[in-house]
Structure 1
Amino acid sequence: MTTTRLRIAVRRFDPFERAIARQFADFVAVTGVDAAVEVVALDLNPLHAALFAAGLADGRFDIAFLNTDWLAEAQGGGLIEDLAPWLERAPIADFPDAWSPSLLGLQRFAGGFWGMPYHDGPECLIYRRDLLAAAGVAVPTTWEEFHAAARRLNDPATGVSGTVLALFPDGHNGFYDFCIHVWSRGGAPFDGEGRPSFIGEAAEGALDFLRTLAKDQDAVPADVTALDSVAAGLRFCEGRVAMMANWFGFAALGEAEGSPIRGLIDVAPLPAGPGGESLSLNVFWVLAIAAGSANKALAWDFLRHCATAAMDRITTDEGAIGVRRSTWADPAVNAVIPYANRLDGLHARARHIPVRPDIAAISAVVDDMLTVAVTTDRPTRDLLAEAQARVEALA
């Protein structure tokens, strides 16, 4: 008998790769299935390219990590399997009650359910308690306070940056940070119909703040334009950044055994802008079954296995963030990550990007705008107008 091999496309990140390998080994041990796994780890842009060029359709992959912003594009192209019929035929125990509703809505559209949540971690303020205390800096609650605190905490002599941005143009954190800054100033980067809306006072304030901070080398490292969210998060976990606005998962990763900053981390809501409020952003990773897979039944069985409480704990134990409420409330998890039980609260204030098949293209436009903003002195209003015209031309 030939061993069935499942090929899984994963966003390159050691905790993801370790967790999937452990979960598949447990799946084989529990079920006795004659199967093996091949984990293909790719950075963000190469992952999107590999999946949407052909990998989801031609059988190259059976399961894929998909960012929720990519789901409408994948579904619209017929590239992923609707999981609703699989849920009916082979239900998942305690589904959906064991998950926060905010982790089940973005993949439910067009009459289907397109991915099982795998890794969570809304954006929040992550900071070093010891460094803020030593400098006499209060946890910032406004973006102005955040910038001022970053300048106070910046210490080139010890190799610690006050804060860090993730401005590498991969359609990820730069785009998300821009949206967060617009929302936190009382604006909306998308209108009520889900159309991009990059013109106005809130958008100008958002871009002005980001470009000013990115150019301030008394607050940030010189290479902020080369850092993606993972590189920025890892730099914090290495003890080289005092605070940052980034995904909750990097706070958890900093509590890993052997981490130089273990026990020194805390999290708080993101700061608010003028005329706005503190909020978070809900974007997460799901496991989706490729439309071209020849092993869909086996793939679904593995997704069901990953959804169990024990496997969700493995996701967290390996340095990512599980998605079940049981994991967030687990005393053993909170003994290591003492703020895991705050995830429900962060979700309560989270916004989300509209479900659109062209979000990747829109985020690329915003990336281009940010690159020009932080490398030139072109007027903010002109850059926003150009970006607005480009996204309108996508329709």
Structure 2
Amino acid sequence: MPTLRFIGRPFEGFERALQRQIDSFAEHVDDDVTFERDHRPLPEIHEELIETGDIADGTYDIFLCLSDWLPAVAEAGDLLVLDEFVEETPPTGWPDGWADSMRTLVSYDGSTYGVPYHDGPELFHYREDLFESVAEQRAFRAEYGRPLTVPRTWSEFLEVAEFFTRPEEDLWGSVVAAVPDGHNNVYDFLIHLWSRGGQVIDDDGTPAFNSDAGREALEFYHDLIHEHEVVPPESVELESVESGEFYAEGKAAMMWNWAGFGAMAESEDAPVFGRTNYGLIPRGDDPDGVHTSLTVLYGLTIPAGSNHPELAYDFIRHATTTEGDKITTVEGASGTRFSTWRDPEILRSNTFYSVLEEINTNAVNTLPQLPEYVELNEILNEMVESVVVKRSATPDEALAKTERRANELLAEGDE
């Protein structure tokens, strides 16, 4: 009896969905198969399995791989290339069942290494009840001389955030997750950079974030917390889930954050249940400004040392069918297929899915697909921390220092 061994991060949505998919897979295969699941925190997986290369030592057959890591793991030869599998027996609906942005994140250097399982992206969440309130509309027009509308630019966002910031009522204009964990704090900087027309890495592979757009991005993020004070001061200690909970508790009028936190806000137990809506993240005010977003995903991959690669691939195909992707969504994660984003039942229970297709096909950016990206992310993390949390450097100082470090890192990778 073969045993498939799974490794991935702990998350109730993943764990519930995987159990259902495992149970149904057992009913569709001729041979008996058992599963062993190992759920570990991301830092532990990275330190003990990715950095050491032990992910490919034969212990595991299926790896739920974060797309941030995939280029480095693929470059090291620690993931199985799935091109032959996909050519012979492609996943159901491959490739047209997924947006290009989804397939890109499970590919590297022209080859496919996985199938998308759980997706962001980040989108704009806002309290529809506040924006539609006649009293709020009148008060806003009296103060700002224009209608109260969902902000399209960052300057509009700032005005609306200032208007709704009422600490005495336990209400803030927005909330951010600025704790220096290399997650939302870095992604927030990138969204502000891209929305102002900036780049992380240019077409020549050179760091390009030390720019006017980069300076404006860092200044704006710093000022939201420390100058304009339109987000709670504890934002510098909040991580992404905690910021999503803050919004779901009705303490913020707006936020840009992961789509999955829409499910948190639309829980029947949430104070904002039935009172939240979604749209595009604001853009920069100058002519280069664009509506943008960021997506990362988790893909089902096969470690290079797997003892059962064919069976592992069969399970991956099974878990990512139309039915499997819907199970992933219903159980609390975020499906990646067009079919899920368009499913009437899903749209009734999670209205944020109505904007996922538009964002993932027209307004989404992805992290640079570099083997060195994990190290680059940590450098960016330290940059944002120095400006926003420690306040030990100006944006210009932090950008210049980080550019030097990024150039050194990428030069080492070329050697």
Counterpart residue number, 1:245: 256
Q: CA deviation at 1:377?
A: 5.1
Q: Distance between the aligned counterparts of 1:296 and 1:149, measured in 2? A: 53
Counterpart residue number, 2:79: 80
The share of aligned pairs that are identical, in percent, is 36
User: What is the one-letter code of the residue matched to 1:370?
Assistant: V
User: What is the one-letter code of the residue matched to 1:390?
Assistant: R
Of residues 37, 56, 67 in structure 1, which corresponds to 2:35?
A: 37
How does the TM-score come out when normalised to structure 1? 0.92
Q: 4+ residue stretches of structure 1 with deviation over 4 A? A: none
Unmatched segments (≥5 aa) in structure 1: none
Of residues 258, 263, 278 in structure 1, which corresponds to 2:291?
A: 278
Of residues 345, 366, 378 in structure 1, which corresponds to 2:393?
A: 378
Q: Distance between the aligned counterparts of 2:131 and 2:285, measured in 1? A: 23
Counterpart residue number, 2:377: 363
8 Å CA contact retained: 2:279, 2:355? no
8 Å CA contact retained: 2:3, 2:34? yes
Q: CA deviation at 1:157?
A: 4.2
Q: 1:36 to 1:184 in 2, by over 3 A?
A: same
Q: Distance between the aligned counterparts of 1:231 and 1:282, measured in 2? A: 19
Q: CA deviation at 1:297?
A: 2.2
Q: CA deviation at 1:184?
A: 1.1
Q: CA deviation at 1:60?
A: 3.4
User: What is the one-letter code of the residue matched to 2:294?
Assistant: L
Of residues 230, 239, 247 in structure 2, which corresponds to 1:236?
A: 247
Q: Distance between the aligned counterparts of 2:300 and 2:14, measured in 1? A: 12
Q: Distance between the aligned counterparts of 1:239 and 1:21, measured in 2? A: 33
How does the TM-score come out when normalised to structure 2? 0.88
CA deviation map 1:341-379 (0-9, x unaligned): 322211212122221001111111111011110222522
Q: 1:105 to 1:298 in 2, by over 3 A?
A: same
SS in 2 for 1:40: strand
Unmatched segments (≥5 aa) in structure 2: 138-147, 411-415
Counterpart residue number, 2:271: 260
Q: What RMSD in Å do the two structures reach over aligned CA positions?
A: 2.2
Larger mean CA deviation between 69-78 and 272-281 belongs to 272-281
User: What is the one-letter code of the residue matched to 1:95?
Assistant: W
User: What is the one-letter code of the residue matched to 1:79?
Assistant: D
2:316 paired with 1:303 = yes
8 Å CA contact retained: 2:74, 2:108? no
8 Å CA contact retained: 1:214, 1:224? yes
Paired residue total: 393
Of residues 217, 238, 255 in structure 2, which corresponds to 1:227?
A: 238
Q: 1:75 to 1:3 in 2, by over 3 A?
A: closer
Counterpart residue number, 1:112: 111
CA deviation map 1:258-309 (0-9, x unaligned): 4332222211101011321211223222111111222322221110011111
User: What is the one-letter code of the residue matched to 1:37?
Assistant: F
8 Å CA contact retained: 1:198, 1:385? no
8 Å CA contact retained: 2:4, 2:312? no
Counterpart residue number, 1:391: 406
Q: What does 1:1-395 correspond to in 2, within 5 Å?
A: 2=1, 4-10=3-9, 12-31=10-29, 33-52=31-50, 53-134=52-133, 135-136=136-137, 137-215=148-226, 218-275=229-286, 276-347=289-360, 348-374=362-388, 375-376=390-391, 378-395=393-410
Q: Distance between the aligned counterparts of 2:132 and 2:221, measured in 1? A: 26
